[in-house]
Amino acid sequence: MKSTIKLFLVDDHKMFLDGLESLLENVDNLIIVGKAENGKEALEKIEASVDIVLMDISMPEIDGIELNRLIKIKYPKMNTIAISMHNEAKIIEKLIKCDINGYLLKNAEKEELLLAIHTVVNGGNYFAEEVKKTYQNSLFDRESKKGQTPELSKRELEVLKEIIAEHTTKEIAEKLFISQHTVESHRKNMLSKLGARNTAGLVKYALENGLGGENI
């Protein structure tokens, strides 16, 4: 365990920023070495000696998602913990992809914040239970939707493959030895099955479901 943990605080709400500083300033082994009211100011002030950056997500100039990404580029070994009122799967996923080390909600108790700080500084990751639940539910919903994907027939998949290859109706008909009318019938059936509005929607579906080229 580090003898002294150097913290840098970032939040655009001064009252919360001051409150966070007051909450942590008398804790043993913790020292607040700087603070900023937005991401741009934080990037200008953060130095390599900082152990953990505690940051808000919604901020002017540079938000917490971008700030985390830039910190990890400049200081790959620096730890970052988001403290936010937002508990949305998309935000959580973006931060995880940029190697955030922790994520707490602003209603967290002091004990949980200290647990997160010590967990992270010792090489672990800490995500609040509500945050983990939101992210896990999102992954579950995504997998469930995959299982609900409408099934396309073998011939429809063959036509879809040719559509992705940007072949015309006439070219598709000639290649598959079917009439142009049949090609259009398959196209309309796929639009109906997938709820797509046009050919671009079919291509989007194919890409999202890994049905490109050799996968069909």
Give the right CATH number for 5-142 from 3.40.50.720, 3.40.640.10, 3.30.160.270, 3.40.50.2300. Answer: 3.40.50.2300
Average pLDDT score, the chain: 88
Whole-model pTM over 0.85:
no
Q: Which pLDDT score, from 0 to 100, does residue 69 have? A: 95
Q: Which pLDDT score, from 0 to 100, does residue 33 have? A: 96
Q: Which residues of 59-94 are buried (b: 16+ CB within 10 A; e: fewer)?
A: beebbbbbbbbbbbeebeebbbbbbbebbebebbeb
Segment (H or E) for 54? strand 52-55
How far is 206 from 203, CA to CA, in rounded Å? 5
| C-alpha 210 chain-centroid distance | 20
How far is 99 from 164, CA to CA, in rounded Å? 35
Radius of gyration of the chain (CA): 25
- pLDDT, averaged in runs of 10, over the chain (216 residues): 88 93 92 94 95 94 94 95 91 88 94 96 92 80 59 87 87 92 92 84 76 52
38, 9 contact by CB (below 8 A): no
- Which part of the chain is CATH 1.10.10.10? 154-215
For the domain spanning 154-215, the CATH number is 1.10.10.10
For 82, phi and psi rounded to 5 degrees?
A: -85, 135
